[in-house]
């Protein structure tokens, strides 16, 4: 199913509200998804959204459109690195990596055994992009001073993220 919209909720599955009719059915869960066509400015993207994720990393959030518009209208932010916290589907990162913007974007979202990262990879490929860097991290311990990545006085909690970014940057060359 393809939906064309600027902001669209993920498909909703109510199957979890009803008891399974057998033991084997109780262990089965098929997370439904759909591919949505979204527009950010004049750009069009295809984004896979799921019906369920325990941390709501399953949809294109309405605030993403506002942030994308802001970034597009403020050229002074057109160089350097960006870390997208709570990337969910990766739609913003995909937009910011695309031409003519070409930002260096690392996505980050909940540490969930790779489901969010895999969906961001899927969406990147679906939109003809190389797979970008992703840092799985549950942000219960915030990292301060993220904008100073690469400087020697970074918060020590930034070090694993910075190593991940450098490793990913080297492998994509």
Q: What is the pLDDT of residues 95-139, one digit of tens each?
A: 999 988 888 899 988 877 788 899 999 999 999 999 888 888 766
- Contact call for residues 105 and 94 (beta carbons, < 8 A): no
Q: What is the dihedral of CA 48, 53, 59, 62, to 10 degrees?
A: -170
Domains observed in the chain: 2-171 (3.40.50)
Is the sign of the CA dihedral 63, 7, 89, 92 positive or negative?
negative
Q: Is 35 left (phi over 0), alpha (psi -120 to 50) or beta?
A: beta
What pLDDT does 1 receive? 43
Burial 84-103 (b: 16+ CB within 10 A, else e): bebbbbbbbbbbbbbeebeb
What pLDDT does 134 receive? 87
Residues of the chain with pLDDT under 50: 1-8, 11-13, 145, 147-155, 173
Q: Is the whole model's pTM more than 0.85, yes or no?
A: no
């Amino acid at each position: 199913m393809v939906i064309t919209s600027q902001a669209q909720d993920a498909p909703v599955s109510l199957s979890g509200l009803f008891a399974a009719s057998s033991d084997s059915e109780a262990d089965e869960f098929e997370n439904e998804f759909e591919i949505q066509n979204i527009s950010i400015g004049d750009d069009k993207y295809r984004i896979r959204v799921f019906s369920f994720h325990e941390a709501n990393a399953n949809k294109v959030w309405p605030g993403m459109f506002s942030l994308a518009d802001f970034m597009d209208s403020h050229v002074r932010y057109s160089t350097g690195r960006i870390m997208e916290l709570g990337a969910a589907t990766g739609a913003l990162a995909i937009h910011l990596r695309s031409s003519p913007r070409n930002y260096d974007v690392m996505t980050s979202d909940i540490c969930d055994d790779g489901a969010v990262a895999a969906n961001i990879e899927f969406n990147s490929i679906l939109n003809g992009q190389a797979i970008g860097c992703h840092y799985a991290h549950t942000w219960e311990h915030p990292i301060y001073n993220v904008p100073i990545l690469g400087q020697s006085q970074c918060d020590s909690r930034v070090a694993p993220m910075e190593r991940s970014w450098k490793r990913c940057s080297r492998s994509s060359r």
